Amino acid sequence: MVTPLERDEPQHIGRYRLLGELGSGGMGRVLLGVGPDGRLVAIKQVHQHLVAEEDFLPRFRREVQTSAQVSGAFTAAVIDFDVESEYPWLASVFVPGVPLDKAVKDYGPLTSDEVHKLAIGLASALQAIHGVGLIHRDLKPANVILAEDGPRVIDFGIARAVEGKSELTHTGSIIGSPAFMSPEQAQSLPLTPASDMFSLGAVLAMAAGGASPFAGSSLPHTLYNIVHTEPDLSGLPPEVRELVSPCLSKDPQERPTPAQLLDFLGPLPPQHRPWSAQVHKAINEQEAEMSALLADPEATHIVGADSSSAAGSQSVDDFERRLQALVEIQRANTLRGRRKRALIAVSTVLVLIAGVLAGTALFGGSDDHPTEPTVNPLAALNLTKLRSIDLCAAVKDPLVPSLGEWTKAPSSTQWGTCAAEAGGYQFDFDIKRVEGYRDNGKRATGVPVLEDVTGGTDGCGRALLPAKTDPQFGISIRVKGEQSDKACTVADDAAAQLAHRMTEQPPLLADIRSSLARHDPCALVDSIVVKLNIGDRVRGTPDLLHTCKWISTGTVTVSLERSKILVPTEKPIPFDLGGGNIAFLDEAELSSPTCVRRGQYRQIDNSDAEVVTVQVDNPTMTEHPEFRCLAAQTVLQNVLDNLPRVSR
């Protein structure tokens, strides 16, 4: 609800006409304004006592300038600011919607599907915020708006630059909302972006369960719970627990990054109204109020109540009555528009039904091919889960009974692949991109079975389509044998049996929680490292299941793999590039357009290890191969730094 301003207050801030006050908090108060273009803005005006603090303004200026760089579909962008005015302020896009805490309090916890949509929005917002070097530091339900088309994260006013050394508060003080702080924040320790991920987990748990999983009877009790106790997630749906639990790890290193969480969640499904009918009704009412304010020319001169003046009280009553009347007019107009659209829609549906009935009469109908289930049983197999599957364990038992036992047992040298033989046929299983496969409508246990149309004539390929991913990955089966005319029949039988096994319980790789296999290589390289070493605004794309590529003037490839234990190789030629940057090359790299650097993550046994490989290809840098190798070294070190620490 917008409240009127006091009688003697300014009616403008900068180029924005003020319509009223939205609320206030520890940093300042929030005003509703309208710009010359008619766009509504939320203006956060800093409290005077903060302005008087030593060094506040330079810090605030630096952070606001950085906040203005944040953009994304799930953030309320900062579009203007003035640090030099008597009361410094920043303006962000006003987003009509219901704060998450109010939505849960008034209408109850969100459903699992709503939490899934909320998680995608929050992770996307944090990715945008962290991408410009900021930490939000106060991600809480009140700072999450449920808007008509999805969530929005607001209030970057207390975010701080990651690279900055100063704080907006005194040493040892706490900024943020206690029930949604990270353990390191509760102890006033240095923060990293991982702190926001802990807060994200707490917000999602609250959205699904109705309260923070750490809320105590007092502030000290709440802070103690955050630092020392494990959250009670038993009341949450299993799919929400699986999502929230990693985010609430006490160790920041074990929490997922926003990119890793988005990889786990998969793409946002098509949606019309993401929230409950009650939430959307509240949003519509707020939009009607905003429209009424904009339609009222007197709103330019809103004056507030003076408690000692009857005339002041009368002005508030007049404001409320005028606003309510305009809201009712706006609602009536909206209702008439909806009725008109509904009549058009009904007419259209009747025409379509008539056409369908006519088509049935002309061409006939049949029940020979009943409609297949629309729900894919493998819809939960996102990229994170696909990376964790042990394919050889899934095909340990023969897939095609008519071929008998495996004559060559299933074996693999790399994650996400497996090879076996039976009845004179060779089977190759792979979890890979399936853009070259076609959906001809075939289903096995409800799972779409795609056909390979680009694999040539040396065999027959099929692929099971799991969750929708970007790019699309599937579980492929390729069959080769002397009787090539029967290979497709064998591939169909194998695909049907494998689909059945995958819908029951996909087997996971051994020691998957410690394994490099479960990580998204695209998410392991920080945005600032990409910008400086690969190119600004260059996006990494999953090329293979455990490989990511960034393509700019050259190509950078990061691969996570299982290989033999690394043996150190000598790079005898040093290049001192200044600033402490030294690249070591060997003779072959001086004339090669490619530079490769490998780092061992953990040793598996006496012969094998998990390894990170970074390859930089850039033929344009032939005269300076040292820069290629410096980029490879930098990216490799960044990946290793971002991986959780392991004991072996």
Residue 542: alpha-carbon gap to chain centroid: 16
**Residues classed as catalytic:** 138
Three-state DSSP class for residue 636: helix
DSSP assignment string, 182-227: -HHHHTT----HHHHHHHHHHHHHHHHHSS-TT--SSHHHHHHHHH
The DSSP string of 1-18 is: --BPPPTTS-SEETTEEE
With b for 16 or more beta-carbon neighbours within 10 A and e for fewer, the 136-173 pattern comes to bbbbbbbbbbbbbebbbbbbbbbbbbbeeeebbbeeee
* Tokens at 560, concatenated: 């996570």
Please name which of 502, 490, 505, 511 lies closest in space to residue 420, comparing C-alpha atoms: 490
The residues pairing with 428 across neighbouring beta strands, listed in sequence order, are: 419, 478
CA distances from 7 to 288, 290, 322, 334 (A): 25, 21, 18, 33
**Distance (Å) of CA 138 to CA 9, 94, 101, 157, 488:** 29, 19, 14, 9, 56
- Cα-based distances in Å from 397 to 385, 394, 400, 410, 418: 22, 8, 9, 9, 13
Q: Compute φ and ψ for 141, nearest 5 degrees.
A: -55, -35
Q: Where are the beta strands (DSSP E) in 460-546?
A: 460-464, 473-481, 541-544
